[in-house]
Amino acid sequence: MAQTSLLGTSGDAPASDLPDGVATAELFASGAASAVELLDEAIARADRLNPEINAIIGRLDDSARQAAKRHDAARDAGSVGGPLAGVPFLTKDLTCTTEGQPYHAGNAALKDAGYAASSTAHLATMFAALGLVNFGRTNTPEFGLTITTEPTAYGPTANPWNTDHSTGGSSGGSAAAVAAGIVPIAHANDGGGSIRVPAANCGLFGLKPNRGRVSLGPDSGDGWAGFSVDGVVSRSVRDSARVLDGISQPWPGDPYWAPPPSDTFESAAGREPQALRVGLCAHSEWGPTDAACRRAVEAAGQLAESLSHEVEYSHPAEMFHEEFFDHFRTIVSVQNVVMLAGFEEALGRAMSRPDVEGDTWALMELGRDVSATQYLAALEWCHGWTRRLAAWWASHDVLVSPIMAEPPPRLGELRNPETGRGRLNDLLQFTPQFNVSGQPAMSVPLSRTESGLPVGVQFVGPHASEEMLLSLAGQLERAAPWAGRTPPLWAGTA
């Protein structure tokens, strides 16, 4: 029998009966639901589903309820309090800190020490200003360093589409929670694919914003030398667009920021794009690409062509440069040595090999052997490579490619001490390039494997082109809706 709730019905109800974030905010603003009621329902969904997927690793129910009560009081006094006021939300346990709250970044030593954040990130402040009600922290691989969410500290997060498979990483906990319907939107960040890969694996929309679009203050100027940026994963394009409008403000002291849009990102998501010049890249030059991923790109090209876009097979000549990963790895390894030193200072002791996972320690050792001259040379190589890569967009508007070279792998594949690193190289062939270049890129849930696993498709625009990408995403969403696709582990089923 279907169960009735404020958000519609569950049981055999369609996915549309669990509204997206914008619709949930409208329920609150209209008085059809209180923020406390919306929170209680999200908590109930988490209590029921999280034991099966391990998406949420820390709960903040008490502080969330206090925030929900403040939203209710403000609304009753005539002030709605933000464009997403009353919407239940989750933050990834990486970078988005709130002073005094637990912060472990997927690391067992920080967890065992009961480490808490010493400052509140500007991003957390902006999420609160949007009216989002954060009631938990989501799972992440240790320090966000891989594309599967299976940290020693908290254990693996399972994919709601098939719990034998990975959600991706590093925003895998957030993606699993949104895919399962616990919340409509959750925080994510991306330093090598960590928004786009989990979105692809879990059948969600995920936009990696342009470099400098979202402040990393007050503790950081730029993450991973500008490779990393924050955002969200969501079920609808308009949810991501509305959040981006709220978190894309520059803060005093930011080293740089992206050019402002001509209009709101949400309005861009609702309007038709002009005819675009689209280049398809269905294969990697670094290794084989699974047939399901190639078909997804080809089908996306056919859909774009049916929408009057000009489509051809083309990609930047620099996209698969043989030196790329050497320089990428150099920069990331040094950045993580600096990060680890910050945690050592906070803990008041040195961190040794038992304090971190094996792959993390290997990366740290690599970083410690890099000289300042080598680091700056790698950064300069990346800057020159970016200029050569970006030249392709002078004759094209959008690049379409797979997100990963294979569909979602099974849990354990990327954690195998003997074969995991090789499997990582097999999969991660299409996303890190656009962290280095800083361009906006998005995963759109347009395809599935024959067994029903999601396969996302990547769309990459030139610098500061989020408006164009969101317009295209909205058009694709209207032409090939995905809201009705739900995983077996879904909040709308009893």
Block residue for tokens 């969904």: 45
Residue 170 annotated in active site: yes
Say which amino acid occupies 366: L
CB atoms within 10 A of CB 326: 11
User: Which one from 34, 171, 194, 228 is the annotated catalytic residue?
Assistant: 194
CB atoms within 10 A of CB 471: 23
Residue 194 annotated in active site: yes
Specify the pTM.
Answer: 0.96
Question: What pLDDT sits at residue 494?
Answer: 52
Spatial neighbors of 474 by CB under 8 A, at least 6 apart, are: 237, 238, 241, 268, 269, 270, 271
Residue 69 annotated in active site: no
User: Can you read off the two tokens belonging to residue 442?
Assistant: 């998005």
Question: What pLDDT sits at residue 80?
Answer: 83
Please name which of 300, 69, 84, 327 lies closest in space to residue 187, comparing C-alpha atoms: 84
The SS3 call for residue 225 is helix
User: Which one from 10, 34, 92, 471 is the annotated catalytic residue?
Assistant: 92
User: Which one from 10, 170, 240, 447 is the annotated catalytic residue?
Assistant: 170
Burial class of residue 344 in the structure, from the number of CB atoms within 10 Å of its CB (0-12 exposed, 13-18 middle, 19+ buried): middle
Question: What pLDDT sits at residue 261?
Answer: 97
CA separation for the pair 73, 80 (Å, rounded)? 9
**pLDDT tens for the chain, residues 1 to 494:** 233 234 433 333 334 479 999 999 999 999 999 999 999 999 999 999 999 999 999 999 999 999 999 999 999 999 988 999 999 999 999 999 999 999 999 999 999 999 999 999 999 999 999 999 999 999 999 999 999 999 999 999 999 999 999 999 999 999 999 999 999 999 999 999 999 999 999 999 999 999 999 999 999 999 999 999 999 999 999 999 999 999 999 999 999 999 999 999 999 999 999 999 999 999 999 999 999 999 999 999 999 999 999 999 999 999 999 999 999 999 999 999 999 999 999 899 999 999 999 999 999 999 999 999 999 999 999 999 999 999 999 999 999 999 999 999 999 999 999 999 999 999 999 999 999 999 999 999 999 999 999 999 999 999 999 999 999 999 999 999 999 999 999 998 75
CA separation for the pair 66, 85 (Å, rounded)? 14
